[in-house]
Amino acid sequence: MGKKHVIKKSEEELPKEGKPQEGELKKEPRVVAFSKRIGEGRIYINSSYNNTIITLTDKQGNVLGWVSSGGIGFRGTKKATPFAASKVAENVSLIAKKVGIEKISVWVKGIGSGRESAIRSFAARGFDILSIKDETPIPHNGCRPPKKRRV
């Protein structure tokens, strides 16, 4: 048996400190500056098969900030996982704490797997959840069926 070779990575191959890892925001989210603290807000969770987007608004519906799992750094099918949705909820909760929101109403839309984990993450972060409303669109009659086949 010969000697074992230890492969040393160059500086280019090592992960850089400035480069965001998966689950961290690429850049600091923009937060609208307010002179007074907002006590109550709304959170809209849009969870699809491919992505999870969470939007934070005030009571009137003015957007204060939003984060998506693709914007955090998840790629491909990992964007639609419950873990990615909980990371998105953590980042949105940081924005909400900056603005001064303690009470939230949650509006959920879509059929993705990140719906419940995002709500649980907000509850774990210490927010007072006033209401949870599901506004997923439901088809009533569906599309028109194709013409009958003529042979």
Q: Which domains does the chain have, with CATH numbers?
A: 40-134 (3.30.420.80)
pLDDT digits (tens, 9 = 90+) for 65-89: 999 999 999 999 999 999 999 999 9
Supply 25's token pair: 């925001």
Q: How confident is the model at residue 15 (pLDDT cuts 50, 70, 90)?
A: low
pLDDT at position 151 over 90: no
pLDDT digits (tens, 9 = 90+) for 22-43: 656 666 655 555 545 678 999 9
- CA–chain centroid gap for 26, Å, is 14
Alpha carbon distance 103, 96 (integer Å): 10
pLDDT at 19 over 50: yes
Whether pLDDT at 20 is above 70 = no
Phi, psi angle pair for 126, to nearest 5°: 95, 15
Neighbouring CB atoms inside 10 A of 43's CB total 25
Average pLDDT, the chain: 85
pLDDT at 139 (0 to 100): 84
pLDDT of residue 63: 92
